[in-house]
Amino acid sequence: MTIEERFIHYTTFDTQSAEDSDTVPSTSKQLLFAEALREEMIREGLHDVVLDEQGYLYGTLLASPGMEDAPVIGFISHYDTSPDCSGKDVKARIIRDYDGCDIELSAGIVSRVEKFPELLAHKGEDIIVTDGTTLLGADDKAGIAEIMHAVCYLRDHKEIQHGTVRVAFNPDEEIGMGAHHFDVKRFACDWAYTIDGGDEGELEYENFNAASAKVSFTGVSVHPGYGKGKMVNAQHVAMEFAALLPGNERPETTEGYEGFYHLTSMKGSCEGAQLSYIIRDHDRMRFEERKRMMEECAERINAKYGDGTCSVIVKDQYYNMLEKVKPVMHIIERAKAAMLSAGVTPKVQPIRGGTDGAQLSFMGLPCPNIFTGAVNFHGPHEFVSIDVMHKAAMTIVNIVKLSD
């Protein structure tokens, strides 16, 4: 089976996760794909294939004879797709030798080069696109296809000496829950890589420190005709709180290593209101300062309107994996060398977001992130280059065959 055939088959499964669910995985339909993938892993000759009750799927490619003492390296991808766009009835289409022009996905839905200039980097390549009505699911079924292609390649090329290779596929990454039930002890690796990055060459081992903040406001509701000196409109107080935060430190005004406060939702009435924020920063000290800033803004509101008017609950979500990767930078150098051997120029960059690898790194499994070739995630203009998928698969092969 070719890598593109494998990937397109995977896209026929609807594996969308759901943020408002309290089950694991968050949607039962994810398990349908996990079960099919489990059967495929067994057919392809992987050992110790286990699908647990929470949808986490593990398997092993045994070491070459005499290589049993080599480091055990793992590769991980998630199989859920984003709640942001439908993943049902995906109709993937291959464009051979892409000409660099606008792509009509379906009637009236066009991926225009002017709007999506990243298409031009793949002129002359074979790319896979949607029909414009769903996402493609390359995030992260491309990663799964690349891992499976790589282990099958290693299985069939016995001249390549390698240690034990572990693979794992998990649900619910898109809702931030992908690593929560990952069994690091069962995975039993010296280190691992998530195959969940974007375009060719991306190598990421820095991500945001992340927290959520729920800010609640209590007002005083009286008849508006007699409200002078009595009414406290919680909605206006909430807007006042929002104005205390730096206006130039939002997602729409920041890039690179710059952190931000992001207002994700708001609701309220005169009597009560609530603002929901996410807080992000690569620098741990600055991250802690941002959390204190939320508390200080609440104190200012309470000093003006009275104690109990404003309260803040801040919860940490994940941390920058750099802290855990720094002591084992040889795993980054190994990935860089593997990319170069596959004809890929490494592009080291920080993730302006999170990754399962960040949480896994703090669970004792150092786990940077490697490219898949997928572009324009979470929407109908998503595409993936078959050429880059092959390079990602060969990067995996090169990682495990390189000597320390």
Q: Based on the domain organization, do 329 and 397 belong to the same domain? A: yes
The verdict on whether 68 is a catalytic residue reads no
pLDDT band at residue 403 under the 50/70/90 scheme: low
Q: Based on the domain organization, do 218 and 294 belong to the same domain? A: yes
Q: Based on the domain organization, do 102 and 83 belong to the same domain? A: yes
pLDDT digits (tens, 9 = 90+) for 355-373: 899 999 999 999 999 999 9
Closest by CA position to 332, among listed 206, 242, 230, 245: 206
Mean predicted confidence (pLDDT) in 283-297 = 97
pLDDT band at residue 378 under the 50/70/90 scheme: confident
Strands 109-111 and 209-218, bridge-based pairing: unpaired
Structure tokens at 399: 């990682």
Tell me which of 4, 14, 40, 80 is the catalytic residue: 80
Question: Is the Cβ–Cβ distance between 393 and 146 less than 8 Å?
Answer: yes
Q: Based on the domain organization, do 49 and 189 belong to the same domain? A: yes
Tell me which of 14, 140, 173, 199 is the catalytic residue: 173
pLDDT digits (tens, 9 = 90+) for 34-70: 999 999 999 999 999 999 999 999 999 999 999 999 9
pLDDT at residue 404 tops 60: no
Domain end position, chosen among 272, 295, 318 = 318
Q: What is the DSSP letter of 64?
A: P
pLDDT at residue 111 tops 80: yes
pLDDT at residue 309 tops 90: yes
Domain that holds residue 94: 3-206+320-401
pLDDT digits (tens, 9 = 90+) for 158-209: 999 999 999 999 999 998 889 999 999 999 999 999 999 999 999 999 999 9
pLDDT band at residue 307 under the 50/70/90 scheme: very high
Q: Based on the domain organization, do 280 and 292 belong to the same domain? A: yes
Concatenate the DSSP letters of all residues of 259-272 into one string: -EEEEEEEEE-SSE
pLDDT band at residue 402 under the 50/70/90 scheme: confident
Cα-Cα-Cα-Cα torsion 91, 97, 99, 104, nearest 10 degrees, comes to -10
Q: What percent of the chain has pLDDT over 70?
A: 100
- Report which residue type is found at 385: S
Concatenate the DSSP letters of all residues of 302-321 into one string: HHHH-TTSEEEEEEEEE--T
pLDDT band at residue 336 under the 50/70/90 scheme: very high
Mean predicted confidence (pLDDT) in 147-163 = 97
Structure tokens at 357: 């690898």
Mean predicted confidence (pLDDT) in 220-239 = 95
Instruction: Quote the number of domains for the chain.
Output: 2
Structure tokens at 83: 């709640």
For the chain, give the number of residues.
404
Question: Is the Cβ–Cβ distance between 211 and 315 less than 8 Å?
Answer: yes
Residue partners of 40: CB distance under 8 A and separation at least 6 = 148
CATH number of residue 273's parent domain = 3.30.70.360
Q: Based on the domain organization, do 112 and 73 belong to the same domain? A: yes
Domain end position, chosen among 265, 291, 318 = 318
Q: Based on the domain organization, do 358 and 222 belong to the same domain? A: no
Taking CA atoms, 131 is separated from 106, 116, 145, 267, 268, in Å, by: 6, 16, 21, 36, 40
pLDDT band at residue 353 under the 50/70/90 scheme: confident
pLDDT for residue 190: 97
Structure tokens at 292: 């204190």
Domain end position, chosen among 291, 318, 345 = 318
The verdict on whether 80 is a catalytic residue reads yes
CATH number of residue 160's parent domain = 3.40.630.10
Question: Is the Cβ–Cβ distance between 302 and 282 less than 8 Å?
Answer: no
Q: Based on the domain organization, do 130 and 109 belong to the same domain? A: yes
pLDDT digits (tens, 9 = 90+) for 116-129: 999 999 999 999 99
Q: Based on the domain organization, do 64 and 86 belong to the same domain? A: yes
Question: Is the Cβ–Cβ distance between 265 and 199 less than 8 Å?
Answer: no
Closest by CA position to 273, among listed 230, 226, 224, 221: 221
Mean predicted confidence (pLDDT) in 133-154 = 97
Asked, as a colleague might, if the bond just before 140 is cis with ω within 30 of 0, I would say: yes
